[in-house]
Each structure stands twice: as structure tokens, then as C-alpha cells.
């Protein structure tokens, strides 16, 4: 697809003018997608907002919202000698309470990076005497891939493959943020990738019950500016609707085939979000029918009591209460090369995006 129109400076300038011409009071808009976080930082979009518009980053990076307890559990799997732990690369450096998968690997545990759960299945076939555990972290976007891997393992009778599922779902987390008295959000820039799977309907409660507008948009600069403009227009006209600006990627009904696959394999469970806490029904648990592929049931482990990382304010950053550079450790001890918290580890983390693409926090001593 030719995306040049979505990067066109003339179109972008027109949208910036339109944004600046809208009339609203001071408003805070939150994006809840790590790719939006990077796009906003990389393209300097905060700097072109009018003074009354603040763009906040929310819990849109799946690695960042993974609770210490889940990372500690992944590490415990690696302590079992019969287990090969497999995961996506961005999970490796994420600190748990006492260690990380990267440190465990350096200490000789069998931890391997894969690019897909299907690679983990291939590894299980190659290593029939070992148990291959895939650490699944993500939102609705990657859940269909995990579901298809479990269905494939079942159909091919691969009984040494299992999944530790720490997947989360987005809409109810937005409700938790709206109900948080410490957080002010006047509109949501809704995630493009997640919405390709779930569509726009699951967000409608935001407008109907809370009168908070939302616009699903894509990741190019023009997409993000268009999304911001559409939210500001709603606020100006005192409307609250869920609109789609990302028509090339999202249908209102999402992707029914992917959704059915996810519903077949997973059921909603409570999930612990870093910085937010337990949100009922926002986790994906593997259904009993597929328990042979549920690492938590098949290879039970007891992680240590979780402990928060001293000085790290990822929790506040993920709720939009603290900007990354307001953390005392930002760029002073915590950098992408030497991350202290998950928001600096992941390429989609707010702290990493601010560090890589802005000067914030560098000028003060
Ligand atoms: S700068 Fe580092 S320590 Fe501070 S909130 Fe971000 S990840 Fe945590």
C-alpha cells in the first residue's frame, strides 16, 4: 500500500492548522497503543499541539503493563531443567522482581528468542525430550496467533509445547482509567492494531456511559493528526462517539474469524496490570479443553513474592499521571542501554520513546 499521503507534509500542515483552529478548553487526550506512542514522539507531534491540548501516553505497551509477578513466573519456568523458555525478544530485558530472562540466560538457563509461537512449536518438535514453554505477552492483536499455535499443537499432538499466557485485553482497562480519580482523560486515540481484531463496537461504552469520545486511527503522522482533530471536533461540538479514522485497517466488526479463534481457545480472566492493578475480565486464560497446553497447569511453579523496582515510576507513567522525564531516573541511570523499568526496555515503551526522540529531561542537571 502506498502510504505517502499519510506522510505528506502539506496534508499534515493542513491538519495542524485545523487542530489549532478548534475551540475547546484544556483537554488531555490519551493514546493506548505503543506504536502511537512511538509515532507521536518520533514525528514531534506534541510540539505542534495547541497549548490547551496535552497528549498523554497510556498503557499501550504490552510488555510494559506486564506485572512483575508474571515476569517472575516466566523466570521460574526457566529454572526447571527440563524446560526451554521461548519468548519475543522485547521480553528478555524486562526486569521482574529479582531478575530478567536475559540475566537468567546469561546464568545458563535455556531461554530462547523466537519470532512466532510457531517457531516454538518447531523447537518442541526438534527437542522431543524437553518441554518448550512460550511466554505469551500482548493484547488482542497477537492473541489470534497464540490461539492458532495452541490449536495446531493440539491437532498435531505436540505434547511438549505449552503457553504461559499473560495476554490482556484493552477496552476494560480504559474504563478503569476513566474511573481512576487521579487521572483526567477527555478523549482516547484508540489503537489501530488491536481494533483490526476487535473493531469499534467494544469501545462504545466510553461514549455511551462516560461521554468520552474516541477515534481509532493509524500510525503515520497524518493518521495521528487526523485522529486528534476528530476528537477535538467532537469535544468542540460536545459530542461523544467512537469514530474510525483508520478505514484502511479497521472495520466496525473487526475480524470475526480471528475473534472466533480467540474465543474458542481463551476465556476472560482477571489480569494484573502494572500500575493499574487487577482489572476483572481483562486477561486471557486458556480454556480447560486446552489445559494440556497451559504451562501454568502443566508445569506449576511458585514464583517469589513480587517486589516493585525501587524508584521506577512506570506505574504512574502508564496511567498518564507522570510524564517519563518527570521520573528522577529518566536519562540519569535509566536509559534504553541500561533500563531500570519496563517502560524503558520496550521499543514501544513511553520512556524509551521520550528518550530516543525528544530532548526532554536532558537539559536539567
Ligand atoms: S525512566 Fe526508567 S525508572 Fe523511570 S519510570 Fe521510566 S522505566 Fe521506570
Segment 219-241 mean pLDDT: 96
Do 282 and 147 lie in one domain? The reply is yes
Q: Ligand 1 pocket: which of 65, 312, 326, 354 to mutate (most atoms <8 Å of CB)?
A: 312
Q: For residue 162, report the distance from its CA to the centre of ligand 1, in Å.
A: 32
Instruction: Identify whether the C-beta of residue 73 lies closer than 8 Å to the C-beta of residue 164.
Output: yes
Pick from 185, 210, 242: which residue ends a domain? 242
User: 257-270: per-residue pLDDT in tens?
Assistant: 999 999 999 999 99
Inside any domain, residue 19: yes
Inside any domain, residue 88: yes
What CATH number is attached to the domain comprising 129?
3.40.50.11740
User: 274-325: per-residue pLDDT in tens?
Assistant: 888 999 999 999 999 999 999 999 999 999 999 988 899 999 999 999 999 9
Q: pLDDT value at position 221? A: 94
Do 137 and 269 lie in one domain? The reply is yes
pTM equals 0.92
Closest to 325 in 3D by CA, of 298, 287, 352: 352
Name which residue sits closest to atom 7 of ligand 1, judged by CA.
341
Q: pLDDT value at position 310? A: 87
Do 210 and 224 lie in one domain? The reply is yes
Segment 76-90 mean pLDDT: 96
Q: pLDDT value at position 171? A: 95
What proportion of the chain, given as a percentage, has pLDDT over 70? 98
Pick from 242, 268, 299: which residue ends a domain? 242
Do 73 and 145 lie in one domain? The reply is yes
Q: For residue 58, report the distance from its CA to the centre of ligand 1, in Å.
A: 14
Please report which confidence band the pLDDT of residue 362 belongs to, taking 50, 70 and 90 as the band edges: low
Q: pLDDT value at position 361? A: 65
- Ligand 1, atom nearest to 331 Cα: 1
pLDDT at 5 over 90: no
Name which residue sits closest to atom 1 of ligand 1, judged by CA.
330
Q: For residue 28, report the distance from its CA to the centre of ligand 1, in Å.
A: 22
Inside any domain, residue 140: yes
Do 25 and 143 lie in one domain? The reply is no
Inside any domain, residue 143: yes
As a whole number of angstroms, the distance between CA 341 and CA 162 comes to 28
Q: Ligand 1 pocket: which of 41, 326, 351 to mutate (most atoms <8 Å of CB)?
A: 351
Inside any domain, residue 76: yes
Do 197 and 215 lie in one domain? The reply is yes
Q: For residue 339, report the distance from its CA to the centre of ligand 1, in Å.
A: 8
User: 24-66: per-residue pLDDT in tens?
Assistant: 999 999 999 999 999 999 999 999 999 999 999 999 999 999 9
Do 286 and 188 lie in one domain? The reply is no
User: Which three three-digit cell numbers place residue 152?
Assistant: 495446531
Q: Ligand 1 pocket: which of 71, 315, 341 to mutate (most atoms <8 Å of CB)?
A: 341
Between 107 and 365, the higher pLDDT residue:
107
Q: pLDDT value at position 346? A: 87
Structural domains of the chain, count: 2
Q: pLDDT value at position 365? A: 40
User: 181-194: per-residue pLDDT in tens?
Assistant: 999 999 999 999 99
Do 205 and 100 lie in one domain? The reply is no
What CATH number is attached to the domain comprising 34?
3.40.50.11750
List, chain by chain if needed, residues with CB within 6 Å of any ligand 1 atom. 312-314, 317, 324, 327, 329-330, 334, 340-341, 343-344, 351
Name which residue sits closest to atom 3 of ligand 1, judged by CA.
312
Closest to 164 in 3D by CA, of 261, 249, 245, 71: 71
Which domain range does residue 223 map to? Answer: 4-61+170-242
Do 82 and 55 lie in one domain? The reply is no
277 Cβ neighbours under 8 A, 6+ residues apart: none
Do 136 and 260 lie in one domain? The reply is yes
Q: Ligand 1 pocket: which of 34, 57, 323, 343 to mutate (most atoms <8 Å of CB)?
A: 343
Buried b (16+ CB within 10 A) or exposed e, 177-194: bbeeeebbbbbbbbbbbb
Do 144 and 262 lie in one domain? The reply is yes
Do 130 and 181 lie in one domain? The reply is no
User: 154-179: per-residue pLDDT in tens?
Assistant: 999 999 999 999 999 999 999 999 99
Inside any domain, residue 119: yes
Inside any domain, residue 93: yes
Inside any domain, residue 222: yes
Pick from 229, 264, 291: which residue ends a domain? 291
- Determine how many CB atoms are found less than 10 A away from the CB of residue 126: 9
In order, the DSSP letters of 65-112 are TB-HHHHHHHHHHHHSTTEEEEE-GGGTT---SS--HHHHHHTT--EE
Amino acid at each position: 500500500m502506498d502510504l505517502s499521503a499519510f506522510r505528506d507534509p502539506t496534508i499534515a500542515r493542513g491538519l495542524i492548522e485545523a487542530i489549532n483552529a478548534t475551540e475547546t478548553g484544556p483537554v488531555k487526550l490519551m493514546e493506548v497503543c505503543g506504536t502511537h506512542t512511538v509515532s507521536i514522539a518520533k514525528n514531534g507531534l506534541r510540539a505542534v499541539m495547541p497549548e490547551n491540548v496535552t497528549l498523554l501516553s497510556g498503557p499501550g505497551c504490552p510488555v510494559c503493563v506486564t506485572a512483575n509477578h508474571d515476569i517472575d513466573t516466566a523466570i521460574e519456568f526457566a529454572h526447571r531443567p527440563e524446560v526451554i523458555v521461548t519468548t519475543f525478544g522485547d521480553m528478555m530485558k524486562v526486569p521482574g522482581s529479582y531478575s530478567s530472562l536475559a540475566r537468567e540466560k546469561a546464568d545458563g538457563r535455556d531461554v530462547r528468542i523466537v519470532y512466532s509461537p510457531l517457531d516454538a512449536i518447531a523447537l518442541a518438535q526438534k527437542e522431543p525430550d524437553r518441554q518448550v514453554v512460550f511466554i505469551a505477552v500482548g493484547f488482542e492483536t497477537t492473541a489470534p496467533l497464540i490461539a492458532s499455535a495452541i490449536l495446531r499443537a493440539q491437532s498435531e499432538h505436540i505434547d511438549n509445547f505449552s503457553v504461559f499466557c499473560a495476554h490482556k485485553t484493552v477496552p476494560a482497562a480504559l474504563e478503569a482509567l476513566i474511573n481512576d480519580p487521579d487521572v483526567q482523560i477527555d478523549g482516547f486515540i484508540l489503537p489501530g492494531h488491536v481494533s483490526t481484531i476487535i473493531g469499534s463496537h467494544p469501545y462504545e461504552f466510553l461514549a455511551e456511559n462516560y461521554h468520552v469520545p474516541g477515534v481509532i486511527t493509524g500510525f503515520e503522522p497524518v493518521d495521528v493528526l487526523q485522529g486528534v482533530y476528530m476528537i477535538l471536533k467532537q469535544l468542540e461540538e460536545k459530542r461523544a462517539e467512537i469514530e474510525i479514522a483508520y478505514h484502511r485497517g479497521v472495520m466496525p466488526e473487526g475480524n470475526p474469524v480471528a475473534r472466533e479463534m480467540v474465543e474458542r481457545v481463551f476465556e476472560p480472566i482477571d489480569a494484573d496490570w502494572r500500575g493499574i492493578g487487577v482489572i476483572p475480565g481483562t486477561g486471557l486464560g486458556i480454556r480447560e479443553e486446552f489445559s494440556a497446553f497451559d504451562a501454568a497447569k502443566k508445569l506449576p511453579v511458585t514464583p517469589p513474592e513480587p517486589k516493585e523496582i525501587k524508584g521506577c515510576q512506570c506505574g504512574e507513567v502508564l496511567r498518564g499521571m507522570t510524564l517519563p522525564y518527570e521520573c528522577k531516573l529518566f536519562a540519569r541511570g535509566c536509559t534504553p542501554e541500561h533500563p531500570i523499568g519496563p517502560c524503558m526496555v520496550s521499543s514501544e515503551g513511553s520512556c524509551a520513546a521520550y528518550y530516543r526522540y525528544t530532548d526532554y529531561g536532558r537539559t536539567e542537571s
